[in-house]
Amino acid sequence: EDQVTQSPEALRLQEGESSSLNCSYTVSGLRGLFWYRQDPGKGPEFLFTLYSAGEEKEKERLKATLTKKESFLHITAPKPEDSATYLCAVQAKRDNYGQNFVFGPGTRLSVLP
Amino acid sequence: IAGITQAPTSQILAAGRRMTLRCTQDMRHNAMYWYRQDLGLGLRLIHYSNTAGTTGKGEVPDGYSVSRANTDDFPLTLASAVPSQTSVYFCASKPGPGTYGYTFGSGTRLTVV
């Protein structure tokens, strides 16, 4: 069974204090791993897709990396506007249409000024 | 602005009543999805549609039905609402087969009393 776990459940950082969020996954053949950002009262917003171990993607203060068992979302010098819940999801190779995405529970990030 | 429109934004519904949640997208995406998001359980797939005229069941389909008469619209119907259907409902779409991230709507917060 495909599974995704995320840690920590919640993280509080001071502005400028860099850290990483973890997404651990078990899937029978990875087609893609996705990171989303979700603000309170809003739908998730797509950030990155990673396809294979060793791949990295960057966007502003965020960098996502991928190994064969986990992905990290590194946040460099965060600002209060980076406060959100970050969701990780995996799509298996057999899931061509993306109808069996497995989402993790999310990490709730708070960045204090 | 291209994206997904969901309506209503929120609703309080008496148990036993019928309710349709509306979802419209203007991106000409072939695939559409309905998820529910509950605290501690994350995002769970209710129903999906890979293309207009086809639908399929997700992880938690009981008590819900969908139709896909055209590319743009994907309504979700609760035939007879029960309190356990209290949740936040998100409609999502993506272009079609392959590894694409979802585009999500802003959600409908439904309370069944």
Rg of chain A over Cα atoms, rounded to whole angstroms, equals: 14
pLDDT at A97 over 90: no
| CA within 13 Å, CB half, B41 | 11
CB-CB under 8 Å, A105 with B48: no
Chain A CA closest to residue B89? A43
CB A78 within 8 A of CB A10: no
* Per-residue pLDDT band at B1 (split at 50, 70, 90): low
Q: What is the pLDDT of residues A10-57, one digit of tens each?
A: 999 999 999 999 999 999 899 999 999 999 999 999 999 999 999 999
Chain A residues within 8 A of B90 when measuring between CB atoms: 43-44
Q: Which of A42, A66, A91, A97 to mutate to test the interface with B (most CBs of B within 10 A)?
A: A97
Distance from CA of A34 to the nearest CA of B (A): 7
Judge whether residue A106 has pLDDT over 90. yes
How far is Cα A54 from Cα A81, in angstroms, rounded to an integer?
A: 28
pLDDT in tens, B45-65: 999 999 999 999 999 999 999
pLDDT at A105 over 70: yes
Q: What is the DSSP letter of A80?
A: G
Which residue would you say has higher pLDDT here, B79 or A99? B79
Residue A99: phi, psi to the nearest 5?
Answer: -100, 5
State the nearest Cα–Cα gap between A1 and chain B, in angstroms.
Answer: 13
Instruction: Record the tokens describing residue A44, joined without a space.
Output: 């998730």
pLDDT at A68 over 90: yes
pLDDT digits (tens, 9 = 90+) for B71-84: 999 999 999 999 99
Contact A98 B40 (CB under 8 A): no
Name residue B52's beta-bridge partners.
none
* Chain B interface test: which of A101, A102, A107 (most B C-beta within 10 Å): A101
- Cis check: omega of the bond before B8, within 30 degrees of 0: yes
Measured distance CA(A55)–CA(A57) in Å, rounded: 7
Token reading at B111? 């309370």
pLDDT digits (tens, 9 = 90+) for B95-109: 887 778 899 999 999
Dihedrals phi, psi of B83, to nearest 5 degrees: -55, -30
Distance, first Cα to last Cα, chain B: 35
Please indicate whether, in this complex, the C-beta atoms of B102 and A46 are within 8 angstroms of each other.
Answer: yes
For residue B104, the distance in angstroms to the closest alpha carbon of chain A comes to 6
C-alpha closest to that of B67 among B77, B59, B58? B77
What pLDDT, on a 0 to 100 scale, did the predictor assign at position B99?
76
